[in-house]
């Protein structure tokens, strides 16, 4: 069994070290996770202009791979590059994690044991704690649908229902949950078997440099919202087809 953590990186040099440290410190039944299965974190550097790539290259752990996009292509394209890598390396499961966030020490174990208990499941998603750095956590991050940092999903799901919609540089996760029919507002039928668990599995960092905060109220934010609404209308009208979904 193989598990790949996909980490898109863009100008988060100050956070990527903690992110990778949390991936390194994953356990299963009290032992390092890599003693139980093939396990790796893949960082996709989307043409950062800071020293984030150097932080990754100098990180003291053998279980990481650094990929670089040829041009800055956005969050969705970076995730897709990671999914392609997971597919090429025959990974069974993908865990999504942003470069400014972190996994809790048993975050992967908790979800993996649910998959082992319920082999019929396609996705297991746990809770994310709001994180202000260090030991400062302030309760669960409220969400009515899968929090991206809490998701563990079978790699094969993407080959059946498509990759991330690259026209969206934000809200791509929400578009994916709509497409799979697991968002509570999705007009589409449920496509996969998912299970939400109440256990916290990740830390969702709150800070002033979060992308959605920097874009809030800008024309770019309005464009993203318009594209998201257009996309959902398209999916509602056409459903999921090979023509309207990104496949590799």
Three-state secondary structure readout of the chain: CEEEEEEEECCCHHHHHHHHHHHHCCEECCEEHHHCCEEEEEEEECCCCCCHHHHHHCCCCCCEEEEECCCCCCHHHHHHHHHHHHHHCCCCEEEECCCCCEECCCHHHHHHHHHHHCCCCCEEEEEEEEECCCCCEEEECCCCCCCHHHEEEECHHHHHHCCCCCCCCCCHHHHHHHHHCCCCCCCCCCCCCEEEEEEEEEEEECCCCCHHHHHCCCHHHHHHHHHHHHHHHHHHHHCCCCCCCCCC
Alpha carbon 81 to chain centroid, angstroms: 12
pLDDT attached to residue 187: 86
Name the residue with tokens 């903690």.
18
Neighbours of 96 (CB within 10 A): 24
Q: How would residue 112 be classed by pLDDT, with cut points 50, 70 and 90?
A: very high
Write out the two tokens for 214: 């920097």
Is residue 173 predicted with pLDDT exceeding 70?
A: yes
**Contacting residues for 58 by C-beta, under 8 A, at least 6 apart:** none
Q: Is residue 3 within 8 Å of 92, Cβ to Cβ?
A: yes
pLDDT attached to residue 86: 97
Which of 195, 75, 74, 97 shows the shortest CA–CA distance to 146?
Answer: 195
Query: For the residues 41-48, what does the mean pLDDT come to?
Result: 97
pLDDT attached to residue 220: 78
Is residue 243 predicted with pLDDT exceeding 70?
A: yes
pLDDT attached to residue 87: 95
Q: Is residue 26 within 8 Å of 39, Cβ to Cβ?
A: yes
Query: For the residues 123-150, what does the mean pLDDT come to?
Result: 85
pLDDT attached to residue 246: 66
Query: For the residues 81-106, what does the mean pLDDT come to?
Result: 96
Share of the chain above pLDDT 90, in %: 71
pLDDT attached to residue 212: 52
Please state, rounded to an integer, the average pLDDT across all residues of the chain: 90
Q: How would residue 167 be classed by pLDDT, with cut points 50, 70 and 90?
A: confident
Write out the two tokens for 224: 């993203």
Query: For the residues 71-99, what does the mean pLDDT come to?
Result: 95
Q: How would residue 248 be classed by pLDDT, with cut points 50, 70 and 90?
A: low
Structural domains of the chain in order of their starting residue, each with its CATH number? 2-238 (3.90.550.10)
User: What are the tens digits of pLDDT across the range 179-232?
Assistant: 999 998 888 889 999 999 999 999 999 866 655 544 556 777 889 899 999 999
Q: Is residue 225 within 8 Å of 175, Cβ to Cβ?
A: no
Q: Is residue 204 within 8 Å of 101, Cβ to Cβ?
A: yes
**Contacting residues for 103 by C-beta, under 8 A, at least 6 apart:** 5, 22, 23, 26, 95, 97, 201, 202, 203
Query: For the residues 228-247, what does the mean pLDDT come to?
Result: 82
Q: Comparing 101 with 210, which gets the higher pLDDT? A: 101
């Amino acid at each position: 069994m193989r598990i790949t953590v996909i980490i898109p990186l863009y100008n988060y040099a100050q956070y990527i070290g903690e992110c990778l440290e949390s991936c390194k410190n994953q356990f299963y039944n009290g032992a390092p996770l890599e003693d139980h299965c093939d396990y790796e974190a893949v960082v996709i550097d989307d043409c950062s202009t800071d020293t984030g790539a150097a932080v990754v290259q100098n990180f003291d752990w053998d279980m990481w791979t650094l990929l670089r996009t040829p041009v800055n292509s956005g969050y969705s394209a970076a995730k897709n590059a990671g999914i392609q890598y997971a597919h090429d390396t025959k990974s069974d499961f993908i865990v999504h994690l942003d470069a400014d966030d972190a996994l809790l020490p048993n975050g992967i174990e908790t979800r993996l044991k649910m998959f082992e208990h319920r082999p019929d499941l396609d996705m297991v998603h746990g809770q994310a704690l709001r994180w202000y750095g260090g030991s400062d956590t302030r309760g669960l991050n409220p969400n009515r649908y899968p929090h991206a940092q809490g998701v563990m999903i079978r790699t094969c799901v993407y080959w059946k229902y498509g990759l991330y919609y690259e026209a969206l540089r934000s809200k791509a996760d929400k578009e994916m949950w709509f497409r799979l029919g697991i968002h509570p507002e999705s007009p589409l039928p449920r496509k996969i078997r998912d299970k939400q668990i109440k256990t916290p599995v990740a830390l969702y960092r709150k800070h002033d440099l979060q992308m959605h905060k920097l874009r809030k109220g800008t024309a770019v934010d309005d464009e993203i919202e318009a594209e998201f609404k257009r996309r959902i209308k398209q999916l509602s009208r056409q459903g999921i087809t090979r023509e309207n979904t990104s496949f590799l």
